[in-house]
Chain A
Amino acid sequence: MEILRTIFSEPFFVTLLGGSLTASTPIILAAVGENFVESGGVLNLGLEGMMIIGAFAAFVVALITKNVYWGLLSGMFASVSIAVAFGYLVIYLKVNQIVAGLGIYLFGMGIASLLFRIIFGREFPVVQGITAKTPIPYLSEIPYIRSIFNQHIITYISLFLLPVSWWILYKTSYGLNVRAVGEKPIAADAHGVNVYRTRFITVMLGGLLAGLGGAFLSICDLSFFVDNITQGRGFIAIAIVMLAKWNPSRIFYGAFLFGICQSLTFGLQIVGLDVPREFILMLPYVAVIAILTILARNTHLPGAFCMPYERE
């Protein structure tokens, strides 16, 4: 009884809901970007590496300039520069996407850790006092759910992106081009769509959003940087895109579930339940595997998925 009462207490709900939205923001951003990339027929396995690089660059710049937005911008810039390399490799050079993706993942992980050691040695600095949450008036005072309306501005933007990117992908001519390029590149080419350029732009967009997600993670969510900071979030984002069946607005469910699993750690600590930390840390990954097992029986992949396009 005591446990139930604490679980349904107000602080628990506030921590859980607010924390979940914050934790799901990097996943939403990365997954929305990956959705565009995959709809265009490219699998970006380097997503994790791009997020790590974004997180690192953002952290360093935010620490130096004491400004969140410079941090976020440089995170995006760093990630896009890697995305350019990835896009060039897989679209123009037609390198195996899995090999190139894994290469980018390993490179991102390695270079961020290397540079972190070079710059900070054995110190672990923290960005403090530069991020502020933007409460929405009145709504952020409702008991139990108030923390939902007291988030960082990037979180609101990422939530707003979900329907917008659905609209772009399924209701605009640009979105139609992207999907055509992913489904039947030959036909798209015959209609005068530049297959290479369309794909390249989606990869850059994917890199941009992955970088923003990573940057948000290091400077807004965690406010520090560690090796392998994303802890598989990039791969989880890829899984969520597949589960959402390339419909950006469905990404929210998967991302929010991940967020709940993440913030359960703090929530349960507040309640005082003693579950081994490792089990709670495992939760998101177990959840992904469980949902993959239950739901993803017959996902439909874009027709030209993972296939380089060779113009005759």
Chain B
Amino acid sequence: MIVKKIIPAIGPIFAILAALITGGIILLVIGLDPIRAYSELFKLGMGTYLGITESLKRMVPLLIISAGLIIVFKAGIWNIGINGQFLIGAILVGWLAPLLINRTPLYLSFLISGLIGFLGGAIWVIIPAMLKAKYEINEIIATMMMDFVAFNFTSYLVKGPLNAYPGRFPQTTIIHLSKRLPHIPFTDIHIGLVVGLLLIIAAHFFVRRTTWGYEFRLLGENKRTALHAGINVQKVIFVGMLISGGLAGLAGANDVLGIKGAFQAEWNPGYCFAAVPLVFLARFNGIAVIPLAYFFSFLMVGGEFMSRAASVPVYFVHVIEALMLLFFSVIEYIQKKEKLFWKS
């Protein structure tokens, strides 16, 4: 029984190892010391209190975004515009949350801000969702285009009308430390982590155990079957994309309320580039997302520390993430082949 549960984890672990080894070779080729880089990465990212705390904090947006992605990816809908939806949610919260916090009880304002973030992300995905649902227009292209629009649009807003400190570095009103998301008792991690974990578990059971989730799974497996089964495919696509966009916006709300305290100009954390490989490595399994999200956020945080300590640019982490995705796709192919081999 236990063995059966471990076998699916072999693929991702191999992919991670292969990517780390290839990354090391790349470092060697460009004249950097891979052993020093990796030891700094693991020492600073996993071996220090700061590294662990930061990784757990950075894990939150990844968890929230992945909760949306496992739902749509399971249905074969590729919402790649997470970064843009995140930014729209974040800037709306950065603008409205300071106003709310002064007027409503703190916890109610958190709740409303979360809702605003969700709505912002969902609104940003409406056009691609409609194009995909009604006219089957490639959602990868449409969401990607909306990404660039979002980046420029939020950049305009924060430098122009929403800039709270004209003449200084453009950002929205900074939320006072005491008015941000409270910490989990005895830790330095805000309660977003609890929300993120609950959301990913909820998404996991939504996809696997509910009738609605079944419609998503069926659509992902075979569109024709889904149509024959009487599923309203258009509705499933539309709702799915709205949920995933909304959750990306909610992740933006989390970052503003829990980590940054404001929406700053030139801020684009690019969680999409970590979340997409991560969700694939988890094979769209919400429970598997949790350890992988920690690992990916450790890579991000450790990568930043490493870039200072071992002068390996942060982009090295992007390369590793991409390699993981590529290796994982190859390993999936090999595993599929082997299954056929054993059957015949």
- Chain A 218-245 near chain B by CB (<8 Å), digits 1 or 0: 0000000000000110011011001000
Tell me if A168 is interfacial: C-beta within 8 Å of chain B: no
Q: Do A292 and B141 form a contact, CB below 8 Å, given A98-B78, A106-B322?
A: yes
Report A227-265 residues with CB < 8 Å from chain B CB. 231-232, 235-236, 238-239, 242
Contact A242 B326 (CB under 8 A): no
Given A93-B330, A95-B329, A285-B148, A102 and B276 touching (CB < 8 A)?
Answer: yes
Contact status A113-B148, CB under 8 Å: no
Q: Does B10 make an interface contact (CB < 8 A)?
A: no
B140 an interface residue at 8 Å Cβ cutoff? yes
Contact A89 B148 (CB under 8 A): no
Measured in the bound complex, the distance between the Cα atoms of B316 and A86 in whole Å is: 20
Q: Type the 1/0 row for A279-312, where 1 means its CB is closer than 8 Å to any CB of B.
A: 1011001101100110011110000000000000
Q: How far is the CB of A201 from chain B (nearest CB, A)?
A: 22
Q: With A96-B329, A282-B148, A297-B135 known to touch, is A107 a contact of B155 (CB < 8 Å)?
A: no
User: CA A236 – CA B146 in complex, angstroms?
Assistant: 12
Q: Give the residue of B80, B140, B315, B326 whose beta carbon is less than 8 angstroms from that of A104.
A: B326
- The answer to whether residues A278 and B325 also contact, given A114-B315, A231-B148 and a CB cut-off of 8 A, is no
Q: Considering the complex, give the chain A residue whose CB is closest to the CB of B128.
A: A289
- Whether A99 contacts B141 in the complex (CB less than 8 A), given A110-B315, A114-B316, A285-B149, comes out as no
> A285-B146, A293-B127 in contact; A95/B152 too (CB < 8 A)?
no
User: Does B280 lie at the interface of the complex (its beta carbon under 8 Å from any beta carbon of A)?
Assistant: yes
A100-B156 contact, Cβ under 8 Å, with A232-B144, A282-B148: no
Q: Does A111 contact B (CB under 8 A)?
A: yes
The chain B residue sitting closest to A284, CB to CB, is B148
Q: Name the A residues within 8 Å of B323 (CB-CB).
A: 103, 107
Main secondary structure on chain A at its contact with chain B?
A: helix
Query: Do B333 and A94 touch across chains, with their CB atoms under 8 A apart?
Result: yes
Interface residues of B in 76-93 (CB under 8 A from A): 78, 80
Q: Which of B138, B148, B315, B333 contacts A232 (CB 8 A)?
A: B148
A45 contacts partner chain B, Cβ-Cβ < 8 Å:
yes
CB of A278 within 8 A of CB of B333, answer: no
A95 to B280 CA separation, bound complex (whole angstroms):
13
Which A residues from 141 to 161 make CB contacts under 8 A with B?
none
Is the beta-carbon distance between B30 and A109 smaller than 8 angstroms?
A: no
| Contact call A102/B152, Cβ cutoff below 8 A | no
Q: Which residue of B lies closest to A108 (CB)?
A: B322
Q: Take A102-B276, A107-B319, A286-B149 as given contacts and tell me if A292 and B156 are in contact as well, using a CB distance cutoff of 8 Å.
A: no
Closest residue of chain A to B329, judged by CB? A95
- Whether a CB of chain B sits under 8 angstroms from the CB of A192 is no
Closest B residue by C-beta to A286: B149
B329 touches A111 (CB 8 A): no
- A95, A109, A118, A292: which contacts B333 (Cβ < 8 A)? A95
Query: Do A238 and B326 touch across chains, with their CB atoms under 8 A apart?
Result: no
Q: Which of B138, B144, B319 contacts A110 (CB 8 A)?
A: B319
Complex CA gap A266/B146 in Å reads 23
Query: A90 CA to B315 CA in the complex, in Å?
Result: 26
- Contact between B333 and A93 (Cβ–Cβ < 8 Å)? yes
Count of B interface residues, CB-CB < 8 Å = 45
Contact B140 A106 (CB under 8 A): no
A115 contacts the other chain (Cβ, under 8 Å)? Answer: yes
Beta-carbon contacts of A181-204 to B below 8 Å, as 1s and 0s? 000000000000000000000000
**Which of B141, B156, B332 touches A276 (beta carbons < 8 Å)?**
B156
CB-based contact B318/A103 at 8 Å? no
Interface pair B149/A95, CB less than 8 Å apart: no
Q: Is B18 an interface residue (CB 8 A)?
A: no
Q: State whether B155 touches A232 (Cβ < 8 A).
A: no
Complex Cα distance, B318 from A248, in Å, reads: 34
CB distance from B152 to the nearest CB of A (A): 4
> Which B residues are in CB contact (< 8 Å) with A110?
315-319, 321-322
Let me know if A133 is at the binding interface, CB within 8 A: no
Is residue B273 contacting chain A, with contact meaning CB distance below 8 A?
A: yes
Interface positions, chain B 290-337, Cβ under 8 Å from A, are: 313, 315-319, 321-323, 325-326, 329-330, 332-333
Q: Can you name the residue of chain A whose Cβ is closest to the Cβ of B30?
A: A118
- Residue of A at shortest CB range from B156? A278
B137 close to chain A: CB less than 8 A: yes
Closest B residue by C-beta to A238: B141
Is B25 positioned at the interface, with any CB of A under 8 Å from its CB? no
Which residue on B lies nearest to A301, using beta carbons?
B136
Beta-carbon contact of A235 and B144 below 8 Å: yes
Q: How far is the CA of A115 from the CA of B29 in the complex (A)?
A: 11
Say whether, besides A235-B144, A242-B141, A285-B146, A114 and B152 are in contact (CB < 8 Å).
no
Given contacts A107-B322, A110-B318, A278-B156, contact A289 B145 (CB under 8 A): yes
Chain B residues positioned under 8 Å from A94 (CB to CB): 333
A117 at interface by CB-CB < 8 Å: yes
Contact pick for B277, options A93, A106, A114, A292, CB 8 Å:
A106
Complex CA–CA separation, A58 to B273 (angstroms): 25
Determine which of A93, A102, A114, A236 lies in contact with B80 in the assembled complex, contact meaning CB atoms within 8 Å.
A102
Q: Which of B80, B156, B313, B326 contacts A117 (CB 8 A)?
A: B313
B127 lies within 8 A of A289 (CB) = yes
- The answer to whether A278 touches B152, judged by C-beta atoms less than 8 angstroms apart, is yes
Which residues on A sit within 8 Å (CB–CB) of B155? 278
Bound CA–CA A109/B313 (angstroms): 13
Chain B residues whose CB sits within 8 angstroms of the CB of A100 once the complex forms: 326, 329
- 4 new A-B contacts, CB < 8 A, other than A114-B319, A292-B141, are A45-B140, A110-B319, A235-B140, A278-B155
What 6 A-B pairs are tightest by C-beta distance, nearest first? A110-B318, A106-B322, A278-B156, A107-B322, A117-B313, A114-B315
Interface pairs (19), CB distance under 8 Å: A89-B326, A89-B330, A95-B332, A102-B80, A103-B325, A107-B319, A110-B315, A110-B318, A113-B315, A114-B26, A114-B30, A117-B313, A232-B144, A235-B140, A242-B141, A278-B155, A282-B153, A288-B145, A296-B135
